[in-house]
């Protein structure tokens, strides 16, 4: 079942420029020929109407990735992530809840209606894409437990399986990072209607390299917050740490809101390279406050110093 009710739902996005039009034709063609997607458990119906703004070509979105569990090169996850077993898959909701629960991905997909949203995606390394996700609002999953009043933050954990993830097995390939990869959000950020759990993209199941079978998408934050292949969501009292805070706390903060006015210590964040298609493979565009979602999310930070809380 598909429910559309948000202004970022793909069928509500306007197409204006000629470049968008060309891209749209490509995308429509792409969807048109892939009727096989209807078989996939969380696929969208092949006859759903699509209208998209400048969307990153699917082949770029699934071959230019950051997923350090499979190597540090942008092309490594595409080459190596096929070894990740995504079924059976369970996700636990633990910590400050009345009763901890464990759900299987198949139960979740059967139970929660799948929506499709096109979001801008901005990596802290100053490249960006625009990707149509399928999935559901994270609040739909969190509402399956009774959260205790003392819970203020949410911590997420990626699967730890060294025999399936070459970078967890070989610390050179995995960049000497301590795994599992962890991330966190404040509860209001986690409950925000823009915050998604993605289970697919481009109308198909999520490729392993993009974080199958389910990953977080927080469109107003730098991409490293959007943790992949999640096995645990823990409600906690205190601000949790994250993989990137552990690695370089002076460079990567907890909030990581996209902000053109706060430079990374080693580069400016004023512009980004948008990864599109055709001749405009990399196009320099200005970075927008909160990645363009200021109207939707700025009120959550109105009393916060965004320079200190980077
Ligand atoms: N478990 C895990 N999640 C992760 C990462 C990672 O290395 N491991 N990289 C992050 C970074 S830096 C980015 S930019 C996005 C990339 O998502 P994509 O490959 O789907 O574009 O995933 C994020 N989630
Ligand atoms: Mo990133």
Looking at ligand 1, which atom is closest to the CA of residue 209?
Answer: 19
Query: What is the position in ligand 1's atom list of the atom closest to the CA of 123?
Result: 14
- Better-predicted residue by pLDDT, 231 or 9: 231
Judged against a pLDDT cut of 50, whether residue 37 lies above it is answered with no
pLDDT at 16 > cutoff 70: no
pLDDT digits 0-9 by tens, 259-283: 999 999 999 999 999 998 766 578 8
Q: What is the arithmetic mean of pLDDT over 197-206?
A: 95
Least confident of 8-22, 32-46, 114-128, 140-154: 32-46
Q: In terms of CATH architecture, what is 10-301?
A: Alpha-Beta Complex (3.90)
227 Cα–ligand 1 center, Å: 6
**Given this model, what pLDDT does residue 29 score?**
52
123 within ligand 1 shell (Cβ under 6 A): yes
Residue 121 CA, closest ligand 1 atom number: 21
Instruction: Tell me, in angstroms, the distance from the centre of ligand 2 to residue 62's CA.
Output: 14
* Tens-place pLDDT, residues 44-70: 333 233 334 688 999 999 999 999 999
| Range scoring the smallest mean pLDDT among 114-123, 142-151, 164-173, 184-193 | 114-123
Q: How confident is the model at residue 122 (pLDDT cuts 50, 70, 90)?
A: very high
Q: Does residue 224 line the site of ligand 1, with CB under 6 A? A: yes
Query: Is any atom of ligand 1 closer than 6 Å to the C-beta of 155?
Result: no
pLDDT at 54: 84
Q: Separation of 222 CA from ligand 2 center, angstroms?
A: 6
Ligand 1, atom 10: nearest CA belongs to which residue? Answer: 224
Burial class (CB in 10 A: 0-12, 13-18, 19+), 106: middle
Averaged pLDDT score across all residues of the chain: 87
Ligand 1 contact via 136 beta carbon (within 6 Å): no
- Report CA(100)–ligand 1 centroid distance (Å): 27
Give nearest CA residue, ligand 1 atom 6. Answer: 67
Burial of 72 (0-12, 13-18, 19+ CB in 10 A): middle
Nearest ligand, CA 74: 1
> Which pLDDT score is estimated for 283?
85
pLDDT, one tens digit per residue, over 171-201 is 999 999 999 999 999 999 999 999 999 999 9
What's the 123 CA to ligand 1 centre distance in angstroms? 9
What tokens were used for 100? 């901890």
- Among 207, 226, 252, name the best residue to mutate to test ligand 1's pocket (greatest count of ligand atoms within 8 A of Cβ): 226
293 near 219, Cβ under 8 Å?
A: yes
Residues around ligand 2, an ion, CB closer than 5 A: 66, 123, 223-224
Residue of the CA atom closest to atom 15 of ligand 1: 223
Contact 68 CB / ligand 1 (< 6 Å): yes
Region of poorest pLDDT, from 2-11, 102-111, 224-233: 2-11
DSSP the chain: -B---STTBGGG----SHHHHHHHHHHHHHHHH-GGGGGSTTPPPTT-----SSPPPHHHHTTS---GGG-SSTTHHHHHGGG---SS-EEEEEESBSS-EEEEHHHHHHHSPBEEEEEEEE-TTSEEEEEEEEEEEHHHHHTTS-B-TT--EEEEEE---TTT-HHHH-TTTTTTPPSSPEEEEEHHHHHSTT-EEEEEETTEEPPGGGTSS-EEE-TTB-GGGS--SEEEEEEESSPPP-HHHHH-TTTS-SS-B--TTS-BTTB--SEEEEE-SGGGSEEEEEPPGGGGTHHHHGGGGTTS-TTTT-
Q: Whose CA is nearest to atom 21 of ligand 1?
A: 65
């Amino acid at each position: 079942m598909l429910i559309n009710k948000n202004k970022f739902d793909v069928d509500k996005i306007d197409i204006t420029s000629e470049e968008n039009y060309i891209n749209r034709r490509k995308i429509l063609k792409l969807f048109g020929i892939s009727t096989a997607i209807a078989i996939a458990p969380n696929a969208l119906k092949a006859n759903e109407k699509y209208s998209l703004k400048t969307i990153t070509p699917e082949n770029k979105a699934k071959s230019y990735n950051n997923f350090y569990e499979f190597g540090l090169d942008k092309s490594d996850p595409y080459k190596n992530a096929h070894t990740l077993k995504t079924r059976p898959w369970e996700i636990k909701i633990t910590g400050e809840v009345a009763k901890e629960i464990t759900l299987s991905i198949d139960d979740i997909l059967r139970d929660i209606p799948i929506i499709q949203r096109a979001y801008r995606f901005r990596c802290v390394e100053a490249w960006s894409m625009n990707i149509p996700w399928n999935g559901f609002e994270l609040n739909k999953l969190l509402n399956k437990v009774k959260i205790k009043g003392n819970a203020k933050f949410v911590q997420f954990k990626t699967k730890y399986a060294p025999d399936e993830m070459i970078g967890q097995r070989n610390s050179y390939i995995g960049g000497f990072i301590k795994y599992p990869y962890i991330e966190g959000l404040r509860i209001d950020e986690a409950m925000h209607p823009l915050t998604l759990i993605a289970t697919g993209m481009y109308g198909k199941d999520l490729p392993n390299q993009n974080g199958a079978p389910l990953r977080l998408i927080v469109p107003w934050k730098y991409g490293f917050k959007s943790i992949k292949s999640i096995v645990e969501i823990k409600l906690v009292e205190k601000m949790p740490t994250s993989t990137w805070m552990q690695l370089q706390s002076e460079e990567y903060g907890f909030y990581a809101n996209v902000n053109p006015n706060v430079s990374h210590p080693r580069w400016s964040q004023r512009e980004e390279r948008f990864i599109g298609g055709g001749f405009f493979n990399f196009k320099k565009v200005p970075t927008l406050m909160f990645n363009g979602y200021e109207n939707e999310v700025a009120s959550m930070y109105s009393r916060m110093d965004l320079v200190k809380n980077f």
